[in-house]
Structure 1
Amino acid sequence: MNENLKVQSHHLERGAYLYIRQSSMRQVMENVESTKRQYALRGRATGLGWRDDQIIVIDSDQGESGASASWREGFQHLVSDVGMGRAGIVMGLEVSRLARNNADWHRLLEICALADTLILDEDGVYDPANFNDRLLLGLKGTMSEAELHVIKARLRGGILNKVRRGEYRCPLPTGFLYDEAGNVVLDPDAQIREMITHFFETFSRVGSASQTVKAFAREGLLFPSRVRNSKQVIFQPLTASTAMRTLHNPRYAGVYAYGQRLYRRTVDGKKQLRKRDPKEWLACIPDAHPGYISWDQFQHNLRVLESNGRGYQSVRASPPREGAALLQGRVVCGRCGSHMRARYADRRGQVDTWYLCSRASASRGEPHCQSIAGWPIDAAIGELIAAEMTPAAVELALEIRKEIERRHGEADELRLRAVERARIDADLAQRRFMLVDPNNRLVADTLEREWNDKLRSLTELQEDRERALREDRLKLDDAIHDRLIAMTTDFKTVWSDPTLPNRERKRLLAYLVEDVTLLKFPSEGETRVHIRFRGGRTETLTTQNPKSSAQQVKTRPEVVGLVDTLLDDHICAEIKDILNAKEIRPGGSARRDQTNAQFTDLRVIYLVKQYGLRTRYDRLRDRGMLTKAEACAKLGISESTLVRWAKYGIVKRHSYNGYMSLYEPPGPHVPAKQCSRWNQLAHRAASVRRLSEQNATISMEGL
């Protein structure tokens, strides 16, 4: 059918859309003829009857692949205008320019058929509503997609063939370079090599990526990092992401690896990354080039990182942390066999350690299997470790000193490398400044400023190195060495030293103990501790469970017995003073720093009532003491006379609550003459007392 017959008047009333695309920016820059051919299609549209102002050119997708339409804004704009009936014809040099994907191509054909829009390529004009034209366009789309697959397969096949031989050149991580022959070699910069070596040694020592980052920050060391798409290497503080990326890179083990990740495009055009299992890597060639660690060490590092990131597993050996739980990661439940976790609780101003088996509760909603106080168990384990380590303590201390000296020496070597690099940069800046023409002040000022910056950096690095040397020397002077040797004569002193970090205790424990199984017996108030040492030897200990809160605040039986004894001869106020004088505290508290934890009258009265002790009143009545009315009737005197007799010791009075008393009964026969004589004695004593007071008053007035 003639092209002009397919173009109708209603087509010419709408716009003519020219879509231009090339797959990469390199093609845009180098394949200029293809671009000219695509722009030349404007003449075809003019020849078919469209005016120049009706021709709309869409070239915003230059440098974009046609494998999908999700990331091509120009193609999406074209489809939108076609669907809204604005396009009379869509022009492209060939089908592959519009789409390399059958789904996108057939979607465009369907929309063009519904909107009565024509399609033009270099071969002719097509009407998608016509069956024969649509069949031909569908065939062209299939061939375009197959062509893309063939191109990719050829390129991919060549790359994979090189990959299998280990010859495909991939971007190298920091610390490696390609030599002139194309072989992978270690970076010739000694500072870079030594810093990377120190990184792997530090990780082997501390067993954690985060602790490695902290060690670098503590020592003031900078880690090398290559600028993206450049050979320039800069030194900056080590981060956790850099540490993890370095530990997971097999190139540092001298292994040529390719295909560690699988990339896929999602519906929205984004890349989806999935890590492959090492067995699925496209290439894994050990000993392909020099490395900083061995392949076995690389595999061990990966296992350590994996174990650090697990919450539960059959065998867990997590890296030591700052917490007080001595058996962190090594406690096994004696009931279900699961590993117990450490939990900390802030109670009464101090942090308590608990070992909790909560796996069944977290996964199945069941009650906690066991919850055991950790401080009695840690204390028993500490005493056992101290007894085991005492014979070898001196030798261990010397080895620790050597290890610390070696670490400080390595850190100083790395700082010295940084100083040397800064000195080289300063010398280079100086030579550049000396070679400049003095009359060119604009360039000379800039070079002089750069020289001053380099000198300032050199001075700062030298001061940092000297300060670090002074600190290291302070840590390893002879006084500390002699103190360390003296402490090793009794390893218990070293173990209980408050300045020793908990992390170091756990590291020492890891060399001796494989795991510890705990089994709690609440009825007996104790816990069985089964220790399995490395090498197979076992040991069993028994620790007492701490008292509950109610038991801790309960008054001790010996204090109750003492109060019972004191009630025979003392009132509650006197008993309170006696207990406080003996520094006996109420309840289960024995802390002397609690000034408010003292006995009062009410506390003593509460003990008497709570424990059912006989009161002071009942005890006096059992001994025959009389009330005031009974004593007056017995003696035939008034109450005022009885009070006066008691005041002057004629009658014995016994207090039972601080302000009320009972009286000791007189003999069986008290004659009236004796009572009269007691009254005379009482009156005489009162007269003597009044006379003494008058004489004292006269003497004061005379003065």
Structure 2
Amino acid sequence: MDQWTVMIKDHHCQYITHEEFEKNNQQLQLNKVNNEDSLLSGPAREGSTLLQGLLVCGVCGKHMTIRYAVNNKIVPTYECNWKKRQGLTGCSCFSFRADLVDPVIEQKVIEVLTPANVSIAINALGQIEKRNASMDKQWQMNIQRCQYQADIAQRRFEQVDPANRLVAASLEKNWNQELEKLSLANNEYQEYQKKRETEFPSHKRKEIIALAKSIPSLWSKTTNTKDKKRIVRLLISDITVTKDRDKKMLFLNIRWLAGPTQQIQVALPALASDKYRYPKEMVEKVRTLTLQYGDDKKTISLLNQQGLLGATGKPFTKDMIQWIRYKHNIKMPILKSNDELTVEEVRTMFNISSHMVYYWINNNYVTARKTPANSFLIKITPNDKTQLLERIKTSYKANSMAHASLIT
């Protein structure tokens, strides 16, 4: 109603008056318990997840929902997509598998329900009962005192002479004030009783301690997830979840019904790409062996001799080493002697194309060896150089290329 632009009262026929409508709305707001200030977990419902309705998103503050992803099998997943449903963003806040969190909370619940903890809680409850009894006695004494004062004021008013109106009015006023104090004390005592913790029957303490000793075995034998959910809701108010994507951690902030809070860190599983990614130590080892030997076969042999395995859990192969070098820009070193030349150096020396250099190599006009980097190193003696120059003179393509280079 606060957002209405225009409101005309009594414009149409009414079922109830406007005052009754406002009074009903006010009562509904007072009866509302699941609002922004107090999120309730709700009753235990069907489903295979333990924390359904208990998890609160640490990003938007809304309850997380359940998704059942089917990937050869049903995988329950907690997800918060409230912002996505509202059109505020194009993706969900975050999600995670239920089997990462449910076992952790189960273990915490079993730890809380140990006989020692239950015994401590019962002893503490006994102290609270004693304090409540003392407070209750004080309230009763206060009410008795107010009742006594009201009775005295009543007797004084009844004994006064009615002809003395001023004194009678004064005594009546005092009597009304004492009655108001008595009514206020009774109302405050009733409110105190409503807020006071429910008394725990003493004859059931031994039964609960005996039950606590068998809770771990009963929990493991119970196949009804709904019963487990009810037990968890008796202990936990809600769990606020935040996610650190960089550290791959989940932070579970548990708010116990007893009052204290507790934070639990849960490590997220590595992504599929991270599982098959080589660590920095392995990359540096491949880099060192490549620069030292300049031969992939030698690198593979040494790694397999050390019992090291690839990212897939298999022995190293040529394809694996070549992929590591390509991915991390590890270039194969050129290990050549002083009398060896590369294809580029030979091309520059004779002013010919690289195709002709490879033609010489394929036809054994020059002595060449193939390196592990799949390149050639060529040896040219003075006699070979003289023969090659004569061959260039009689080659039509070589002369055309040399003539073109002179023109340019």
The two structures share one fold, judged by TM-score above 0.5:
no
Bigger Rg, which one: 1
Alignment TM-score, normalising by the size of structure 2? 0.42
TM (norm. structure 1) is: 0.26
